[in-house]
Amino acid sequence: MGELSGITIGVTAERRAEDFIAALERHGAEVRHAPTITIVPLDTDPELKAATLKLVMSPVDITIVTTGAGFRGWLDAAEGWGLRQPLLDHLRDSRIYARGPKAVGAVRGAGLRETFSAESESNAELFEAVMAADLLGQRTAVQLHGTALPELTAPLVEAGAWLTEVQPYRWTSPPDVTPVYELIDAAVAGKLQAIAFTSAPAAANFLTLARTSGRYQQLLRALPGIVVACVGPVTAAPLEAVGVETVQPERQRLGALVKLLVTTLGA
């Protein structure tokens, strides 16, 4: 018997879902898996390839790395297109701004070196540091992850940067949304003790699919009775914007999210 025996947790992640589910099940939880997004394969993404080609055809002055996984995925895709080394050569000559240690690890793992790292691991601190630089005419590459950040990238353009957005892991709704509808039904029926989110797009599309299913208002009424656990504040933002209270671990890590669920629900 584990700390989570008798507890049912909804997991909405697609990426690294197996690791997450296995960790929860080791603690005795029953897991209902319903990915709310599906990721567009990197090596077949024409938008990612076009952005990469643009960057290898001219100098890059500033590179912004928001996630380690996204940066590594981008380089892997570039390697498949025969563009990895030209891309690295251009990024090496740029000033690299990284969002926290995971992004720094990916940058250094590629043989590059960051100019700045956001200690808080927040996009707000990251882009604030970039905005403090002289951006006029600066060719700037922004590696995003899963979703655009117009509230952060638009000011760069307004300050004069020539912006190229690189978006590994673009997402769409899953081809079969039935498991998500069933998860929403379970939440409304009081059959879930927790729902976990590991990305902002997954949280946002969960709400969108609730609207599509016609259960949105019922879901919002049910969620106060459920532990809504998010890996960090960026992930939680779409939920909190509509009044859903969330819990978050101190460290934005999958293992920390598991420990938070054990601590919160095991009691």
Cβ neighbours around 228 below 10 Å, total:
21
Q: Does domain 8-37+173-266 have CATH number 3.40.50.10090?
A: yes
Instruction: Give the range among 14-23, 196-205, 241-250 with minimum mean pLDDT.
Output: 14-23
Identical fold between 8-37+173-266 and 45-169: yes
The CATH number assigned to the domain with range 45-169 reads 3.40.50.10090
Using the structure block, give the residue that is written with the tokens 């106060």.
224
In this predicted structure, the answer to whether residue 146 has a pLDDT above a threshold of 80 is: no
d(CA 156, CA 161): 6
Domain ranges of the chain: 8-37+173-266, 45-169
Q: Are 98 and 176 in contact (CB under 8 A)?
A: no
Burial (CB count <10 Å: 0-12, 13-18, 19+), residue 137: exposed
DSSP 27: T
Burial (CB count <10 Å: 0-12, 13-18, 19+), residue 169: buried
pLDDT computed for residue 40 by the predictor: 74
pTM greater than 0.75 (yes/no): no
Instruction: Give the range among 102-111, 122-131, 146-155, 226-235 with minimum mean pLDDT.
Output: 146-155
Q: Are 209 and 177 in contact (CB under 8 A)?
A: yes
What pLDDT band is residue 59 in, cutting at 50, 70 and 90?
very high
Classify residue 237 as left (phi > 0), alpha (psi -120 to 50) or beta: alpha
What is the average per-residue pLDDT within 23-50?
Answer: 89
- Identify the H or E element spanning 141: strand 139-143
